[in-house]
Amino acid sequence: MRLILLGPPGAGKGTQAQRLIHKHDIVQLSTGEMLRAAVAAQTPVGLRAKDIMASGGLVPDEIVIGIISDRLDQPDMKNGFILDGFPRTVPQAEALDDLLRKKHIRLDAVIELRVNESALLSRVETRVAEMRARGEEVRIDDTPEVLSKRLASYRSLTEPLIHYYSERRKLLTVDGMMTIEHVTREINRILAAIGAVETQATPRKPAKMAARKTSRPVGKAAKVAKKASKKPAKTARKAGKATSGRTRKAARASAKGSGKRPARQGGKAAKKVTKKRAKA
Binding mask 201-240 for ligand AMP (x = CB under 6 A): ----------------------------------------
Instruction: Check residue 32 for interaction with ligand AMP (CB under 6 A).
Output: yes
53 binds ligand AMP (CB under 6 A): yes
Sign of the CA dihedral 145, 164, 215, 186?
Answer: negative
13 is catalytic: yes
Angle subtended by helix axes 90-102 and 61-72, to nearest 10: 30
Is 277 a catalytic site residue?
no
Say how many CA atoms lie within 13 Å of 212 toward its Cβ. 8
50 binds ligand AMP (CB under 6 A): no
- Annotated catalytic residue within 127, 170, 216, 248: 127
> Active-site residue among 139, 168, 170, 261?
139
- Per CB under 6 A, which of residues 59..78 are in contact with ligand AMP? 59, 64
Q: Which of 4, 12, 93, 141 binds ligand AMP (CB under 6 A)?
A: 141
Other Cβ atoms less than 10 A from the Cβ of 177: the count is: 14
Residue of the chain from 7, 12, 80, 85 that contacts ligand AMP (CB under 6 A):
85
User: Is the CB of residue 18 less than 8 Å from the CB of residue 27?
Assistant: no
3 contacts 81 by C-beta, under 8 angstroms = yes
- Pick between residue 94 and residue 270 the one whose CB is nearest to ligand AMP: 94
* Burial bucket for residue 49 (CB in 10 Å: 0-12, 13-18, 19+): buried
**Is 150 among the catalytic positions?**
yes
Does residue 90 contact residue 161 with C-beta atoms inside 8 Å?
yes
**Interatomic CA distance for residues 102 and 104, integer angstroms:** 6
Q: Is the bond preceding residue 87 a cis peptide, omega within 30 degrees?
A: yes
Residue 175 CB, shortest distance to ligand AMP, in Å, is 21
* Binding range to ligand AMP, per CB under 6 A, among 50-58, 191-199, 228-236, 245-253: 50-58
Neighbours of 127 (CB within 10 A): 17
Residue 164 interacts with ligand AMP (CB under 6 A): yes or no: no
Annotation says 106 is catalytic: no
Residues found near ligand AMP in the complex (CB under 6 A): 9, 31-32, 35, 52-53, 56-59, 64, 85-86, 88, 92, 141, 150
Which residues have a catalytic role annotated?
13, 88, 127, 139, 150
